[in-house]
Amino acid sequence: MVIKKDTIIYFSGTGNSLQVAKDINSELIDFKLCNVSSIIMEEKIKVEGKIFGIVFPVFYARLPLILEKVLQKLEINKDTYVFAIATHGGAPAEVLTKLRKILKSKDIVLNSGFLMHMPGNNIFSYGASSVKKQNKIFQMEKKKVKKIVHIIRERKNYKCELSKIIIDIIIDRVFIKTTDKIVKYLNIRDKYFWVNNNCNRCRICERICPVNNIQINTDKPIWKHNCEQCAACIQYCPREAIQWGEKTIKRKRYKNPNINLIELIK
Ligand SMILES: Cc1cc2nc3c(=O)[nH]c(=O)nc-3n(C[C@H](O)[C@H](O)[C@H](O)COP(=O)(O)O)c2cc1C
């Protein structure tokens, strides 16, 4: 496929990355938003626009697997300005350095890379933060969007943002080591999902899964071991029927309040 227009590709489980992509998009004229799930089957993706953006959530200090697969298919014009925004819950580590290396191996220069702190959605480790805390983060997001848009409009070369201080970087490296094993078996970690009797087979989990990993069998959802761990299914289940092991039974669910279900499914 050929992408001729200025485009932002995004991946989003619970709406944070989509919100950031939309907010950037609304400040730039005539941009197209494109969900990576809709282009994953393409053999080659040729980018011919003047500006190309990549917005995604950080998963275990890394890029979503589906995004890595899409990046491998990219061919980008030499004079296209490329930017990326990694949304994260507070520990992004060196994810942008990782992205820059992947792009470099494809002979693509990452002109600017930004970190965007958003409410954490990792229900496998913690529950949603308070609405007050979330709103504070959304206010900061608005400010940072303005700064990013200014840099993109001017097509400025900007550094890839890293975690703030040296100690963070050291902690990040340890974090990456400890999460190596999780990431190795990420696809099959969906074997811990189960549903309780609240499930009424509404099929929202099946529809929201960005990688079509869920199928509703005669009586309940089945996860097909191609999971990204984006948490969309468990966070959006309207009856909180989906659980992951025993850990999530009491945890508060998170979904980005500025993005609706239909937009995410689209
Ligand atoms: C499985 C999983 C792992 C995550 N790992 C990290 C991480 O390593 N560092 C971090 O800062 N946030 C992490 N997060 C939080 C998300 O990156 C963050 O909430 C992001 O904004 C979610 O974006 P989305 O709503 O577009 O999916 C993780 C979330 C999930 C579900």
Which positions ≥6 away from 3 have C-beta within 8 Å? 32, 34, 45, 46, 47, 48, 49, 52
Q: Which two tokens stand for residue 40?
A: 């994953």
Distance 29 CA to ligand 1 centre (A): 29
Burial (Cβ within 10 Å: 0-12, 13-18, ≥19) of residue 147: exposed
pLDDT over threshold 80, residue 167: no
Instruction: Check: CB of residue 71 under 8 Å from CB of residue 26.
Output: no
pLDDT over threshold 70, residue 164: no
What's at 117, amino acid-wise? H
Dump pLDDT digits (tens) for 219-234: 899 999 999 999 999 9
- Would you give the DSSP letter of residue 189? G
Q: What is the pLDDT of residue 12?
A: 98
DSSP per-residue string spanning 198-236 = T-----HHHHH-TT--EEE-SSSEEE-S------HHHHH
- Could you give the CA distance from residue 176 to residue 63 in angstroms, rounded to a whole number? 12
The backbone torsions φ and ψ at residue 3, rounded to the nearest 5 degrees and listed phi first, read: -100, 110
Strand partners, 8: 33, 53
Which residues lie with the beta carbon below 6 Å from any ligand 1 atom?
12-17, 57-61, 87-92, 118, 120-122, 124, 229-231, 256
Residue with CA nearest ligand 1 atom 22 = 57
Report H helices in 95-191: 95-105, 131-153, 166-184
What's at 254, amino acid-wise? Y
- The residue-averaged pLDDT of 253-259 equals 98
Q: What is the pLDDT of residue 126?
A: 97
**CATH of the domain spanning 2-167, picked from 3.40.50.300, 1.10.3720.10, 3.30.360.10, 3.40.50.360:** 3.40.50.360
Q: What is the pLDDT of residue 176?
A: 79
Q: What is the pLDDT of residue 89?
A: 95
Q: What is the pLDDT of residue 48?
A: 95
- Could you give the CA distance from residue 182 to residue 169 in angstroms, rounded to a whole number? 20
- Could you give the CA distance from residue 227 to residue 58 in angstroms, rounded to a whole number? 15
- The residue-averaged pLDDT of 10-30 equals 95
Any idea where the domains of the chain sit in the sequence? 2-167, 184-265
- Could you give the CA distance from residue 55 to residue 170 in angstroms, rounded to a whole number? 25
CATH 3.30.70.20, applies to 184-265: yes
Dump pLDDT digits (tens) for 114-145: 999 999 999 999 999 999 999 999 999 999 99
pLDDT over threshold 70, residue 163: no
Instruction: Check: CB of residue 37 under 8 Å from CB of residue 59.
Output: no
What's the pTM value of the predicted model, to 2 decimals? 0.95
pLDDT over threshold 90, residue 172: no
Lowest mean pLDDT segment, chosen from 6-10, 30-34, 79-83, 236-240: 30-34
Among 33, 60, 117, 183, residue to substitute to test ligand 1 (most atoms within 8 Å of Cβ): 60
- Could you give the CA distance from residue 249 to residue 243 in angstroms, rounded to a whole number? 6
Q: What is the pLDDT of residue 94?
A: 86
Residue with CA nearest ligand 1 atom 8 = 60
- The residue-averaged pLDDT of 150-171 equals 80
pLDDT over threshold 80, residue 18: yes
Q: What is the pLDDT of residue 175?
A: 78
Within this chain, domains 2-167 and 184-265 share the same CATH topology: no
Distance 197 CA to ligand 1 centre (A): 28
